[in-house]
Amino acid sequence: MATQHSLFSKNPKRNKPVAAAGPDISDLSSGLRDIGTRLRILEERYTNLQTKTQITEQNMLSRNKLLSTEIKATNLDIHEIKRELIEIKDRILLLIKELQMCAKKEEVNVLEKYINLWEPVNFVTRNEVEDIINEISKKNQKL
Burial 3-18 (b: 16+ CB within 10 A, else e): eeeeeeeeeeeeeeee
> What single letter denotes the amino acid at residue 126?
R
Digitized pLDDT (tens) for each residue of the chain, 143 residues in all: 445 555 455 554 554 544 445 568 888 999 999 999 999 999 999 999 999 999 999 999 999 999 999 999 999 999 999 999 999 999 999 999 999 999 899 999 999 999 888 887 888 889 989 999 999 999 888 87
> What pLDDT shows up at residue 24?
84
Report how far residue 74's alpha carbon sits from residue 124's, in angstroms, rounded to the nearest whole number.
69
- pLDDT tens for 39-69 read 999 999 999 999 999 999 999 999 999 999 9
> What pLDDT shows up at residue 123?
83
> What pLDDT shows up at residue 23?
63
Report how far residue 77's alpha carbon sits from residue 89's, in angstroms, rounded to the nearest whole number.
18
> What pLDDT shows up at residue 1?
47
Sign of CA dihedral 95, 98, 104, 105: negative
> What pLDDT shows up at residue 4?
54
Domain range annotation of the chain? 21-102, 103-143
Render 40-109 in DSSP notation, one character per residue.
Answer: HHHHHHHHHHHHHHHHHHHHHHHHHHHHHHHHHHHHHHHHHHHHHHHHHHHHHHHHHHHHHHSPPHHHHH
> What pLDDT shows up at residue 64?
97
